[in-house]
Amino acid sequence: MPKKSEILEMGEKAQKASLALAKLSSRKKNTILEAIADELEARRNEIQAANKKDVQEGARNGLNAAMLDRLELNDERFSSMVKGILDVIALKDPVGDVISTWVRPNGLEIRKTRVPIGVIGIIFESRPNVTVDAAVLCFKSSNATILRGGKEAIHSNQALARAMQEGGEKKGLPPNAIQLVQTTNRSAVKELVQLEGLVDLVIPRGGESLIRAVVDDAKVPVIKHYKGICHIYVDKEADFPGAVDIIDNAKTQRPGVCNSVEKVLVHEDIAAEFLPMLANRLIAKKVELRGDPAACAHIPEAIPAKPEDWDEEYLDLILTVGVVPSVDAAIEHINRHGSRHSDAILTSREVARKKFLQEVDSATVYVNASTRFTDGNEFGLGAEIGISTDKLHARGPMGLEELTTYKFLVLGTGQVR
């Protein structure tokens, strides 16, 4: 018999662990999480030494400054990572919740009950803290995890995964509940995302190219978002200073994230008055403006937008601005060019607000607020495993509840059909 591959063996072990995890009480899980936090603190020096090795190798291998920064697990990040575990301990455990229950005329009692998903694969890039953040959220929701980080962070990730598993086991973490893929070759990812029947869900976290590669190979369900091309539409009746503040915030507060605004659409009736106000503020904040001909007519500093500008996620201080004749035109544009992530209308008109909320087909639709609020913490979920622009299972920010599924318990007294 040929030797089983590392990945297949991990999948089988994870499935076994997932059945053991499903039996743990919330109290027990919190005790284990405390032990994990303690162990990470106890091994801080050892883990940071492993991280230093990754950073040094990365520098030798020519990683750029931004990548080296993401890789580094400095004191502040380490403490914040451990504090994240304490935050998760405080969150309500969704497993076991009865979602709904009813009794059929024949006396059968049906209980739709929240249960863990099972085995979750997390595929991510260079930030080593994702190893802990993801494993801890999956564990709190009683899921087994198979983690696969970037190869440039392998020493950090090995030290973190070992500390979590060994620390947790002191208080009863089932063996193999948290596993890290040890090989760093690409084929391991492909094998992992094809383990039908063993891996129940894969969540890729990283740039669009990583996610596309995962989706292309996957046979198991994947929840993800490719990118965030977020829009703000300024309606013909809106609070102009408020609108400028919101767009400024959505563009400049943190331009490199998926919920920052990339496109602004303005109603033609207010373009002449509003666009110069907006341009003043954004140019002062060093934002490069690109515009369609109507927008450029009111913003002398704007560069003419190319057709592809409407479909590009800049993740930078660049904004494309267009003029539309109506809220309907804005909605149509957003449904065609958007990424179904987060889109906003700024308006004081009830009819426009209602239409926009109903017809924009995005995970999160805003009225009179910045798109930057699409985030697990900002939504009050406590923590976030990711954001989904998919339509099935979970949409928008995903917290603990989105790491669960349900099963039906049917309680009878001898009923036959």
Task: Determine how β-strand 98-103 pairs with β-strand 303-304.
Answer: unpaired
**86 touches a second copy (CB under 8 A):** no
Q: Is 120 exposed, middle or buried (0-12, 13-18, 19+ CB in 10 A)?
A: buried
Q: Does 368 bind a second copy (CB under 8 A)?
A: yes
Which one of residues 84, 221, 281, 326 is an interface residue with a second copy (CB under 8 A)? 221
91: closest CA among 415, 385, 294?
Answer: 385
**Which tokens belong to 342?**
């987060």
- Which position among 175, 242, 256, 293 is part of the footprint of a second copy (CB under 8 A)? 242
Residues facing residue 320 across a β-bridge: 263, 290
Task: Give all strands (DSSP E) within 149-307, no chain letters.
Answer: 178-180, 201-205, 230-234, 261-267, 288-291, 303-304
Footprint (CB under 8 A) of a second copy, residues 128-147: none
Assess 108 for contact with a second copy (CB under 8 A). Answer: yes
| Residue span binding a second copy (CB under 8 A) among the ranges 28-36, 54-62, 180-188, 244-252 | 244-252
Q: Say if CB 181 and CB 123 are below 8 A apart.
A: no
Nearest residue (CB) to a second copy, 159 versus 387: 387
CB of 246 to a second copy, least distance (A): 6
Q: Does 363 bind a second copy (CB under 8 A)?
A: yes
Closest contact distance (angstroms) between CB of 245 and a second copy is 6
- Among 40, 366, 385, 400, the residue binding a second copy under the rule CB under 8 A is 366
Q: Compute the least distance from the CB of residue 35 to a second copy, in Å.
A: 24
118 near a second copy, judged by CB under 8 A = yes
Q: What is the rounded radius of gyration, in angstroms, for the C-alpha atoms of the chain? A: 24
Report if residue 6 touches a second copy, rule: CB under 8 A.
no
Give the binding-site size for a second copy (rule: CB under 8 A): 63
Closer residue to a second copy, CB minimum distance, 67 or 367:
367
Burial class (CB in 10 A: 0-12, 13-18, 19+), 306: exposed
403 near 382, Cβ under 8 Å?
no
What's the CA gap between 198 and 13, in Å, rounded? Answer: 9
- Interface characters, 323-362, with a second copy (x: CB under 8 A): ------------x---------------------xxx-xx
The binder of a second copy chosen from 219, 273, 280, 351 (CB under 8 A): 219
Burial class (CB in 10 A: 0-12, 13-18, 19+), 349: middle
Binding of residue 395 to a second copy (CB under 8 A): yes
- Quote the CA–CA distance of 98 and 101 in Å, as a whole number: 7
Chain Cα centroid distance, residue 248? 23
List of residues contacting a second copy (CB under 8 A)? 19, 22-23, 102, 104, 108, 110, 115, 117-118, 200-201, 215, 219, 221, 223, 239, 242, 245-246, 248-250, 253, 335, 357-359, 361-370, 372-374, 378-380, 390-393, 395-396, 405-417
